[in-house]
């Protein structure tokens, strides 16, 4: 296997970096997510090439969770081996994050938000990633049955113990997020970042959360900016046989495609007028929001990664274009 040598021009201005909330940490506008494409069922040669190309393009943030795969945990294990082999000398250039919250192992302590689960999960993730610490550690979802103080206390312990540099939350609604921010702040571990789902077709965070993040000085990194592939040209002429929607994978249903396709077609026309693909426009649109620090992309190939990186060259949106987009989304 060839030795990886990073592109010496990776910080030549191709990537923009934004300050995360009021912290000293800067994240690339586009970050690489490991939800799909890095599990045991995937081509690890291609996975390695994706990581190389991303870093060469200035993507300094790699985002994991304990259960990414499949099978759960395999994305961290596979990427961890690549990180150790190819990126050891670049560890201090990378921001690596992981999360705990969803089901990971059997029994009463294998998911949600107990202190036992959260800290055990972090230790397991560090072992799979072959790292001494992660830069950001998230609670992946609120737990309705565990006191918020306990879950946030576990995050604070992760930071104070040196297993993580920053604490984050994901999938928290605005009101609960404010409570979490206060608890962490009182513990001396301010929340760095919130990771919510956000796209042209899913704008729930605009109903209070984005304003809250700006007021609180907390960063925001969005996931599923392409709505699991719906905001691409893949479904413009129907549902391909090998697509996620055709497989009814649980993430994107055929019924959702059928319900939203008229909006996608209208958005595609706007993108064509801008001289770009709908995927490029959709990614750039998430980044135009003042609350957003970075947006997470997934990639099954280097080619797809390159296409997603085109969003960095997307022209700014005019007021007329934003209005046209809003009108298209009304159906």
How many other C-beta atoms lie within 10 A of the C-beta of residue 15?
17
Buried b (16+ CB within 10 A) or exposed e, 123-139: ebbbebbbbebbbbbbb
Task: Provide mean pLDDT across the span 173-197.
Answer: 98
Q: Judge whether residue 304 has pLDDT over 60.
A: yes
Q: What is the pLDDT of residue 257?
A: 82
Radius of gyration (Cα) for the chain, nearest Å?
19
Six token digits for residue 233 = 């040209």
- Write down the architecture of domain 17-229+279-316 according to CATH: Alpha-Beta Barrel (3.20)
> Where along the chain do its domains lie?
17-229+279-316
- What is the sign, positive or negative, of the torsion defined by CA atoms of 186, 142, 225, 70? positive
pTM of this structure: 0.95
pLDDT in tens, 209-228: 999 999 999 999 999 999 99
Closest by CA position to 37, among listed 279, 305, 226: 305
Q: What is the pLDDT of residue 243?
A: 62
Confidence bin at 255 (pLDDT 50/70/90): confident
């Amino acid at each position: 296997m060839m030795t990886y040598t990073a592109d010496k021009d990776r910080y030549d201005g191709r990537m923009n970096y934004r300050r995360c909330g009021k912290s000293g940490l800067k994240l690339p506008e586009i970050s690489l997510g490991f939800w799909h494409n890095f599990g045991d069922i995937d081509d690890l040669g291609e996975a390695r090439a994706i990581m190389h190309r991303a870093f060469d393009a200035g993507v300094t943030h790699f985002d994991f969770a304990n259960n990414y795969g499949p099978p759960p945990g395999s994305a961290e294990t596979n990427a961890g081996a690549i990180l150790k082999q190819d990126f050891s000398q670049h560890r201090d250039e990378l921001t690596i994050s992981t999360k705990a919250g969803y089901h990971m192992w059997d029994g009463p302590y294998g998911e949600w938000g107990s202190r036992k689960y959260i800290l055990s999960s972090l230790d397991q993730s560090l072992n799979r990633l072959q790292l001494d610490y992660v830069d950001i550690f998230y609670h992946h979802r609120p737990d309705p049955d565990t006191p918020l103080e306990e879950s946030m206390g576990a995050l604070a312990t992760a930071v104070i113990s040196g297993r993580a540099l920053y604490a984050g939350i994901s999938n928290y609604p605005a009101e609960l997020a404010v409570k979490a921010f206060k608890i962490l702040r009182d513990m001396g571990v301010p929340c760095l970042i919130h990771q919510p789902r956000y796209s042209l077709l899913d704008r729930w965070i605009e109903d209070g959360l984005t304003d809250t993040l700006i007021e609180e000085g907390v960063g925001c990194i969005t996931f599923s900016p392409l709505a699991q592939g719906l905001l691409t040209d893949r479904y413009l002429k129907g549902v391909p046989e090998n697509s996620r929607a055709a497989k009814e994978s649980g993430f994107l249903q055929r019924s959702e495609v059928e319900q939203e396709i008229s909006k996608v077609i209208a958005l595609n026309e706007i993108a064509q007028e801008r001289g770009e693909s709908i995927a490029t426009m959709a990614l750039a649109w998430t980044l135009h929001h003042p609350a957003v620090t970075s947006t997470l992309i997934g990639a099954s190939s280097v080619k797809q990664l390159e296409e997603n990186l085109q969003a960095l060259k997307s022209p700014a949106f005019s007021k007329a274009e934003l209005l046209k987009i809003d009108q298209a989304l009304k159906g």
